[in-house]
A and B are shown apart, each in its own frame.
Chain A
Amino acid sequence: MSQKPEKLIDKKGLRLDGRKPDELRPIKIEVGALSNADGSAYIEQGKNKILAAVYGPKEVHPKHMALPDRMVLRCRYHMAPFSVQERKSPAPSRREIELSKVIREAVEPAIFMEYYPRTAIDVFVEVLQADGSTRCASITAASLALADAGIPMRDLVSACSAGKVDDTIVLDLMDTEDKVGSADVPVAFMPNLGVITLLQMDGILTPEEFEKTVNLAIEGCRKIYALQKEALRAKYISVKEVEE
């Protein structure tokens, strides 16, 4: 594919796609994109295109997996074979299994798991096109799909990454920045409650840089949260306008 770019940030301080260091990629969110699912959401973040679908709560199958005091949340993150330049095998890879777990653990704190014991919720995340920080965009979409399914939640979960590229702390890394850059920190955050539900780091940062990076990512999450709420409202407001 493309060879390694020498510089990720030009003299003016702009990034490869012309963004400022603290700028998000353009985001488009649609809630209720799939009619078969109980809840669904579609997100475009830069070149990322991700669909999330939620089924449930429903009876647990196989039955022995049911928990007597809480719901079971099952999550499947999957990348389509055509989502990246080189064909990705459709079989779940090591990375996809890890991301399924990471996404599950990032959205679980937002759900009132103890409300409906002996039931299960299935979350399916399908990456149609990948361009870096897909785990964050997946969490954003998954939490919207859960809210769309009418599952009681403490808050929406917003996720955004930040990292270090050419000695600059930047927000919302894309694929090349993730691969060539020196550090990547994905953060999932519940803005109204001020709770971090996912925090990972790949690379090396000094403690000062780390703090700065996390704070920048949280700022990004807040911006995404506003977009999430707008998307969730848009589904019902459009119905209202048609009638009146």
Chain B
Amino acid sequence: MPTFFEKRQLVTPGDLLAEGDYIAGENTYKEGGKIYAARTGLVEYEEKKVSVVALRAFYIPKVGDTVIGTVVEVGFNGWTVDINSPYMAILRATEVLSRPFKPQKNDLTEVLDVGDLVVAKIVAYDRTHDPQLSVNEPGLGKITRGQIVKITPTKIPRVIGKKGSMISLIKQETGCHIILGHNGVILITGKSLEDEELAMRAIRKIDEESHTTGLTDRISQLIKKEKEKKGGSQE
């Protein structure tokens, strides 16, 4: 049962990753007992599972994911939301308005209009239907303030870090509240614009350098340096 690459090595589609009794994980496929890569990325071998962490991919909805989207259309009984994915999401009016909803009486644009940003959860999705959203949970709903950063969706786990180490570092150091959308859209709300910008820069750096090691240390260095600079100029 040989493997043909080392851990975290760069592979391209069609590369033979392993042969024999292995399980094909993400971004790989199995044919005739052999596992091949299906995307460009870094290969991972975990016991029997072979997977590829993609460097470039798009967001495919998954039930339970938190996403941040933009309203692109207001319909008769709901909204169409662009969630940075090949599929448009649907947010029903009954999900947003707690009271009984009548299309003749309520004007939906008063609640959410085209261009508004929402934090929502995916409650239903399969191959045959577009994803459906819900905002019936604390922390979800229309975004009123903060900054948005877009990164490659596959890099969200890297922003979270091991057991949330990376994200808690950024939150602690900048004092910002950060919501990660699984679709690669991130909302940052802080006390001041500078705090928000610092958090944004840190997240962009993670996006660019996600395939390198020792990233948490470098991010913490970046934040410290920026803080010192700011502190010096104020005095």
Show the binding face of A for B, using Cβ within 8 Å.
Answer: 38-39, 56-59, 68, 110, 112, 116-119, 147-156, 190-193, 228-229, 232-233, 236-237, 239-240, 243-244
A-side contacts of B128, CB under 8 Å = 68, 117
Q: Is the Cβ of A154 less than 8 Å from the Cβ of B208?
A: no
Q: Is the Cβ of A147 less than 8 Å from the Cβ of B86?
A: no
B-side contacts of A116, CB under 8 Å = 60, 86
Q: Which listed residue (B14, B87, B212) contacts A243, Cβ 8 A?
A: B212
Whether B168 sits at the interface, judged by CB under 8 Å, is no
- Can you offer 23 A-B residue contacts whose CB atoms are under 8 A? A39-B56, A56-B86, A59-B86, A59-B87, A110-B13, A116-B86, A119-B87, A148-B40, A148-B56, A150-B39, A150-B40, A150-B57, A151-B39, A152-B29, A154-B36, A155-B13, A155-B36, A192-B14, A229-B15, A236-B55, A237-B10, A239-B209, A243-B209
Q: Is the Cβ of B212 less than 8 Å from the Cβ of A240?
A: yes
List B26-56 residues whose CB lies under 8 Å from chain A.
27, 29, 31, 36, 38-40, 54-56
Whether B77 sits at the interface, judged by CB under 8 Å, is no
Contacts A116-B86, A229-B12 known; A192 to B36 CB distance under 8 Å? Answer: yes
**B61 CB → nearest A CB, Å:** 11
A-side contacts of B13, CB under 8 Å = 110, 147, 152-156
Whether B162 sits at the interface, judged by CB under 8 Å, is no
Whether B198 sits at the interface, judged by CB under 8 Å, is no
B-side contacts of A59, CB under 8 Å = 86-88
Most buried by A among B15, B31, B40, B127: B40
Q: How far is the CA of A236 from the CA of B10 in the complex (A)?
A: 9
**A227 CB → nearest B CB, Å:** 12
Q: Is the Cβ of A156 less than 8 Å from the Cβ of B55?
A: no
Identity of the chain B residue whose Cβ is nearest the Cβ of A152 in the assembled complex: B38
Q: How far is the CA of A38 from the CA of B12 in the complex (A)?
A: 17
A-side contacts of B76, CB under 8 Å = none
**Beyond A152-B29, A154-B38, A156-B12: 8 further Cβ-contacts under 8 Å?**
A117-B127, A119-B87, A147-B39, A150-B57, A152-B38, A233-B10, A233-B12, A236-B211
Count of chain B residues with Cβ under 8 Å from any Cβ of A? 28
B-side contacts of A117, CB under 8 Å = 127-128
B-side contacts of A237, CB under 8 Å = 10
Residue interface mask B200-218, A partner, CB < 8 A = 1: 0000000011011000000
Q: How far is the CA of A138 from the CA of B11 in the complex (A)?
A: 23
Q: How far is the CA of A180 from the CA of B13 in the complex (A)?
A: 38
Identity of the chain A residue whose Cβ is nearest the Cβ of B28 in the assembled complex: A152
Identity of the chain B residue whose Cβ is nearest the Cβ of A233 in the assembled complex: B10
Whether B58 sits at the interface, judged by CB under 8 Å, is yes
B-side contacts of A191, CB under 8 Å = 14
Whether B123 sits at the interface, judged by CB under 8 Å, is no
Contacts A150-B39, A232-B40 known; A58 to B56 CB distance under 8 Å? Answer: no
Contacts A39-B56, A152-B38, A153-B39 known; A147 to B12 CB distance under 8 Å? Answer: yes
Identity of the chain B residue whose Cβ is nearest the Cβ of A228 in the assembled complex: B12
B-side contacts of A243, CB under 8 Å = 209, 212
Whether B148 sits at the interface, judged by CB under 8 Å, is no
Q: Is the Cβ of A154 less than 8 Å from the Cβ of B14?
A: yes
Q: How far is the CA of A72 from the CA of B182 in the complex (A)?
A: 26
Q: Is the Cβ of A240 less than 8 Å from the Cβ of B211?
A: yes
Q: Is the Cβ of B38 less than 8 Å from the Cβ of A112?
A: yes
Q: How far is the CA of A155 from the CA of B95 in the complex (A)?
A: 43
